[in-house]
């Protein structure tokens, strides 16, 4: 489990994406192993991570989705300088997908 996926930790080398900075990673015995430590960059954290709840490696999938959203739309789906406000946004608001004609229906 990487636990800090964000644009700064994604590199491109010879056309291949590589994930860097494994300082917060946690080796797992199996895919269902749990963690509870709140680590990473708040705007990329899965809701369960930022709220200090138990989470699985699927929290990294949330972070990848936030990075993809940022790549497509130039901003994160939820942004705030306050962790408390960010948690409230994650609990109360839906992700808004802007109408963007250049994005394929599959994406």
Q: How far is CA 106 from CA 17, 25, 56, in A?
A: 21, 31, 27
Which pLDDT score is estimated for 98? 84
Total domains in the fold of the chain? 1
Residue 65 lies in a domain: yes
Q: What are phi and psi for residue 86, nearest 5 degrees?
A: -65, -45
8 a catalytic residue: no
Residue 36 lies in a domain: yes
In this model, does residue 65 exceed pLDDT 90? yes
Residue range 59-74: average pLDDT?
94
Query: Among residues 4, 8, 60, 92, which one is catalytic?
Result: 4
| Structural domain boundaries, residue 46 | 7-92
Residue 1 lies in a domain: no
The CATH number of the domain where 38 resides is what?
1.10.510.10
Can you list the pairs that 72-79 forms with residues at least 24 positions away whose Cβ atoms lie under 8 Å? 72/100, 72/103, 72/107, 73/98, 73/100, 76/43, 76/44, 78/43, 79/43
Residue 16 lies in a domain: yes
Which pLDDT score is estimated for 103? 78
Q: What are phi and psi for residue 10, nearest 5 degrees?
A: -115, 120
């Amino acid at each position: 489990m990487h636990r800090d996926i964000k644009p700064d930790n994604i590199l491109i080398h010879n056309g291949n994406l590589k994930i860097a900075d494994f300082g917060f990673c946690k080796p797992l015995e199996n895919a269902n192993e749990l963690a509870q430590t709140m680590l990473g960059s708040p705007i990329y954290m899965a809701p369960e991570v930022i709220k200090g709840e138990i989470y699985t490696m699927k929290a990294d999938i949330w972070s990848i989705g936030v990075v993809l959203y940022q790549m497509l739309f130039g901003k994160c789906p939820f942004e705030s300088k306050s962790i408390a406000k960010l948690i409230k946004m994650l609990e109360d608001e839906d992700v808004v997908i802007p109408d963007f004609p250049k994005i394929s229906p599959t994406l």
